[in-house]
């Protein structure tokens, strides 16, 4: 039995390769400090765990969920956007429930695009955006995210042909992997571009709850006219440490939301209702746990930057997300530097080129171990004496 062309067209899984390299090192008995992945290290807050326990005991939740999710969860998403961003969302027509936002990001090209139509993707960007490209058999062009432009795409560099042909564009701020944030002016510029060229916008707001230095990340839907052209996807994985729960939602343009709902009508029967009940509690309840989490990540970020500075590694502090985007030393590629870190320092980082060609020259570091382990990782790297002439790219 041979695989389908669709399956053969899928890209190789970047993180699977990284996991294998780290796993092999651990099997050798080495003390690896793994800064390469994006798996939150803190537990889900107790009040959310209690909510799912109580909901799981309710026999009504043992039946099939409504195809398009529970009304309470959709209302909670609407209330969340009004409270956090002052954005009005109709829970009936402008919310789609997702098995984590990865599902939405991968399935959306199937729902909105025909084969060989064009989508625009950030580079560097979340590697699984390309899974949607492969499954839908569409074309894509990349938009370089460069340090000199604060890791925002430069729309003036798009050709007229790209603007005319593009049907769909993905954005992601706070950004994975660069840790950059976007402001409202940028999103307003995005809306203008989308309206002038009939491009649907998807803003991947996975790290929307994590902003540093007192700056709250901006929602794309706060821009005037944003709902006319696009949607935003929000996951509970990062904000509430619910990565394994696989729950999120999309909000915004009603036609795009309906497209998601239609394709999911054929793929799923929605999420276990008890998980939706717990997600409702997370969105509606006290957000003190979110502030505590952001403070934790900011402390780790500060410790990382201080440690890097102490060994001569010139880095720029990320403004959001739980990642840092660090320049590699001269005479190394991203992959060669990442391999050296694992082989010689027992520190795992993600090579920047795994996120796209514009990621070459960087590595991504996760703020997902405690401060002492972060400092120990940088101390180990410092012993290799690589940073006398580090590139100041950030």
Looking at residue 20, what is its pLDDT? 87
Query: Which helix (H) or strand (E) is 250 found in, with range?
Result: strand 248-252
Contacts of 132-139 with CB under 8 Å at 24 or more apart are 132/105, 132/106, 132/107, 132/108, 133/109, 134/6, 134/9, 134/10, 134/11, 135/6, 135/9, 135/10, 135/106, 135/107, 135/109, 135/110, 136/109, 136/110, 137/6, 137/9, 138/109, 138/113, 138/114
* Mean pLDDT within 332-358: 96
Looking at residue 387, what is its pLDDT? 87
Dump the DSSP string for 181-243.
---HHHHHHHHHHHHHHT-EEEEE-TTTT-B-TTPPPPPGGGSTTHHHHEEEEEEHHHHTS-G
What's the whole-number average pLDDT of the chain?
95
Strand-pair category, 200-204 with 230-235: parallel
Looking at residue 356, what is its pLDDT? 95
Phi, psi (rounded to 5 degrees) for 338: -60, -40
Phi, psi (rounded to 5 degrees) for 235: -110, 150
Looking at residue 147, what is its pLDDT? 95
pLDDT tier at 388, thresholds 50, 70, 90: low
Q: Is a pLDDT exceeding 90 seen at residue 11?
A: no
Looking at residue 106, what is its pLDDT? 97
* Mean pLDDT within 50-57: 98
Looking at residue 389, what is its pLDDT? 40
* Mean pLDDT within 4-8: 90
pLDDT tier at 390, thresholds 50, 70, 90: very low
- The predicted-structure confidence for 25-41, as pLDDT tens digits, reads as follows 889 999 999 999 889 99
First-last CA distance in the chain: 49
Is the omega angle on the peptide bond into residue 264 within 30 degrees of 0, that is, cis? no
Looking at residue 394, what is its pLDDT? 39
- The predicted-structure confidence for 68-96, as pLDDT tens digits, reads as follows 999 999 999 999 999 999 999 999 999 99
Q: Which two tokens stand for residue 33?
A: 């400090």
Structural fold of domain 62-284:
3.40.640
* Mean pLDDT within 289-313: 97
* Mean pLDDT within 170-178: 98
CA–CA dist 250, 285 (Å, integer): 20
* Mean pLDDT within 364-385: 96
Looking at residue 333, what is its pLDDT? 96
Q: What is the CATH number of domain 5-44+288-382?
A: 3.90.1150.10
Residue 22's SS3 state is: helix
Looking at residue 13, what is its pLDDT? 74
Whether 274 and 56 have beta carbons less than 8 Å apart is answered as: yes
The residues, ordered by sequence, that sit 6+ positions from 23 with a Cβ below 8 Å of its Cβ are none
pLDDT tier at 391, thresholds 50, 70, 90: very low
Angle at 109 between CA 121 and CA 70, to 5 degrees: 115
Domain ranges of the chain: 5-44+288-382, 62-284
- The predicted-structure confidence for 95-107, as pLDDT tens digits, reads as follows 999 999 999 999 9
Q: At what angle do helices 46-56 and 273-284 cross, to 10 degrees?
A: 150
* Mean pLDDT within 245-269: 97
The residues, ordered by sequence, that sit 6+ positions from 43 with a Cβ below 8 Å of its Cβ are 49, 241
Residue 136's SS3 state is: helix
Whether 239 and 290 have beta carbons less than 8 Å apart is answered as: yes
Whether 294 and 320 have beta carbons less than 8 Å apart is answered as: no
């Amino acid at each position: 039995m041979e695989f389908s062309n669709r399956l053969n067209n899928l890209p190789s899984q970047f993180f699977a390769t990284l996991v294998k390299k780290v796993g092999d090192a651990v099997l050798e008995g080495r003390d690896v400090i793994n800064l390469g992945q994006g798996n939150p290290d803190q537990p889900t807050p107790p009040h959310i765990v209690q909510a799912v326990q109580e909901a799981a005991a309710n026999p009504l939740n043992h039946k099939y969920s409504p195809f398009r999710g529970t009304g309470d969860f959709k209302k909670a998403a609407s209330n969340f956007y009004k409270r956090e961003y002052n954005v009005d969302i109709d829970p009936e027509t402008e919310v789609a429930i997702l098995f984590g936002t990865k599902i939405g990001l991968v399935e959306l090209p199937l729902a909105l695009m025909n084969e060989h139509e064009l989508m625009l993707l950030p580079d560097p960007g979340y590697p699984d955006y390309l899974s949607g490209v492969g499954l839908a058999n569409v074309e894509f062009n990349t938009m370089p995210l460069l340090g000199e432009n604060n890791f925002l795409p430069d729309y003036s560099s798009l050709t007229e042909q790209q603007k005319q042909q593009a049907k769909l564009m993905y954005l992601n701020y706070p950004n994975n992997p660069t840790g950059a944030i976007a402001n409202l002016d940028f999103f307003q510029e995005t809306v203008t571009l989308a309206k002038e060229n009939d491009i649907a916008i998807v803003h991947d707001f996975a790290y929307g709850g994590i902003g540093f230095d007192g700056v709250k990340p901006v929602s794309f839907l706060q821009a005037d006219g944003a709902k006319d052209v696009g949607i935003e996807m929000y996951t509970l994985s990062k904000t509430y440490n619910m990565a394994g729960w696989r729950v999120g939602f999309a909000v915004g343009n009603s036609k795009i939301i309906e497209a998601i709902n239609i394709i999911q009508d054929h793929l799923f029967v929605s999420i276990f209702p008890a998980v939706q009940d717990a997600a409702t509690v997370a969105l509606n309840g006290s957000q003190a746990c979110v502030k505590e989490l952001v403070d934790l990540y900011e402390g780790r970020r500060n410790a990382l930057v201080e440690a890097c500075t102490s060994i001569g590694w010139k880095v720029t502090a990320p403004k959001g997300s739980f990642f840092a985007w660090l320049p590699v030393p001269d005479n190394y590629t991203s992959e060669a530097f990442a391999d050296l870190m694992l082989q010689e320092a027992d520190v795992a980082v993600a090579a920047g080129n795994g996120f796209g060609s514009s990621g070459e020259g960087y590595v991504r570091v996760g703020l997902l171990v405690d401060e002492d382990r972060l400092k120990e990782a940088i101390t180990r790297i410092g012993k290799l004496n690589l940073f006398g002439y580090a590139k100041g790219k950030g």
